[in-house]
Amino acid sequence: MRELAIVKELKGDVVLLEKARTEACSTCGSRSSCSISSSDKKITIRALHNGVEVNPGDTVEIEMSNMSATRVSMIVYGIPLAVFLVTLIVMNMVLKSEGLALVVAFASIAVVYALIALYDRKNREKLMPKIVRKVELPDGFIVR
């Protein structure tokens, strides 16, 4: 998905961009009841330079990763919950102690989140938005 954003700050290979949430939320089913999409609140996005020369105040087109919110939610919430429940049930049957099984299940969540953090560090650049090009807008045009 490609969107427009405004360059706010340059930090090495990373560029801080600002954009309104209205474009990103246009297909969301909850947009009518969401306070972010109904207001003019802006969000800050970290994007990779990708070899495009930009300065603060420039309007750029960015390409967002194709990873869906459902997939991200499954990785962050679903997998740890499944591991917790399976570990709790198996350890309760093996150890015959609910308290000890609970401790082991919580420890398994810590291990899963550590693995997710390693996955995130390894794949962060692939998942970060990238600047595609600098966009010249007509006078009076406002990026929303």
**Rounded to whole angstroms, how far apart are CA atoms 84 and 120?**
20
Mean pLDDT score, 7-32: 71
Does residue 66 have a pLDDT over 60?
yes
Give pTM, 2 decimals.
0.59
Is 77 part of a structural domain of the chain?
yes
Q: Are residues 61 and 75 in the same domain?
A: no
Nearest of 7, 24, 25 to residue 16 by alpha carbon: 7
Q: Are residues 60 and 77 in the same domain?
A: no
pLDDT attached to residue 144: 54
Segment among 68-82, 95-109, 123-137 with least mean pLDDT: 123-137
Q: Mention every residue, 6+ apart, whose C-beta is less than 8 A from residue 99.
A: none
pLDDT for the residue 15:
85
| CATH number of the domain that residue 51 is part of | 2.40.50
Q: In a 10 Å sphere around its CB, with 0-12 CB exposed, 13-18 middle and 19+ buried, how is residue 116 labelled?
A: middle
45 part of a folded domain: yes
Structural domain of 106: 69-124
Q: Are residues 46 and 13 part of one domain?
A: yes
Asked if residue 104 lies in contact with residue 87, where contact means CB atoms within 8 angstroms, the answer is yes
* Statement to judge: residues 87 and 39 lie in one domain: no
**Residue 143 domain flag:** no
| CA dist., res. 4 & res. 47, Å (int) | 12
